Amino acid sequence: MSHDVILLHGVHVRSTQSVTDLAFVVGHGFTNHVRKPFVSRVLQRFARRGGVIALDFRGHGRSGGRSGVGSDEIHDLAAGVSLARDLGYRRVVTVGFSMGASIALRHAGLHEDKPDAVAAVSAPSRWWVRDTVAMRRVHWLLEQPHGRLAARALGVRLGPPWRTVPESPLEVVHRITPTPLLIVHGEQDHYFGPAHAVALHRAAGGAAELWLEPGIRHAESAMTPALVDRIATWLDERSQHPTTQHPARPHSAEDDDRTKGRR
């Protein structure tokens, strides 16, 4: 359950290796959900390095509510972070893809319960991007009556247009310091060009690390096992000495009830 009382569903994948104190809280992209095959492959790959908690964002998959396209979803990611801590994970890191990357950046910059490290993959730096054909199609889904119907056919239940414009990733990324931040972007990204990653890196004030990946396109569907492994390794290593210590409690039978619906 999110802070604003949206019922969320997702998965908790236990680590396939010996690392049991680290949890990856993963945020998916727009129109995706945790049961999509290419999303599931990414989750299973992260599980080679630690536990994985991934919730369908509101308005997506099996979760309730309506999508705010990155505005209110920081409550959903916060619920995943809180669940990871309740399950006893000592180190909790967040990884977001596309819309999920904007949410991960905004969560780390604005929320009190910060993760121990953050990775943003294929993140937009600002709102209302129309520079690419792919994003013009996305805005047709969001803004036109027929587009909103088409979005529902894609499995997304959209909320009303924003009444108040939320802070963009570019406006909050500097607040993430001193939490370790990794910005990953494909040089062939056909939604958001690499300039978005460069702008975020510059706005972070040099505290972030930037990877521009040759031959990589956009978000989860473009992830190779090797790239997921590199991201997981970076997050694991940077969270070894977190800037803020968070209390954890042992796993209990009640926790199993909280993760019903997992695979």
Give the length of the chain: 263
Tokens linked to 204: 């972070």
Lowest mean pLDDT of 107-111, 181-185, 248-252, name the range.
248-252
Nearest to 105 by CA among 182, 218, 46: 182
Domain ranges of the chain: 10-239
Superfamily covering domain 10-239: Alpha/Beta hydrolase fold, catalytic domain (3.40.50.1820)
The overall average pLDDT reported for the chain is 91
Q: How confident is the model at residue 166 (pLDDT cuts 50, 70, 90)?
A: very high
CA 246 from chain centre, in angstroms, equals 20
Q: How confident is the model at residue 261 (pLDDT cuts 50, 70, 90)?
A: very low
Integer Cα distance of 179 and 141 in angstroms = 35
CA 148 from chain centre, in angstroms, equals 23
**Half-sphere exposure (Cβ direction) of 22: Cα atoms closer than 13 Å:** 27
Q: How confident is the model at residue 10 (pLDDT cuts 50, 70, 90)?
A: very high
**Half-sphere exposure (Cβ direction) of 63: Cα atoms closer than 13 Å:** 34
The torsion angle over the Cα atoms of residues 65, 125, 221 and 69, rounded to 10 degrees, is: 10
Rounded to two decimals, the pTM is 0.90
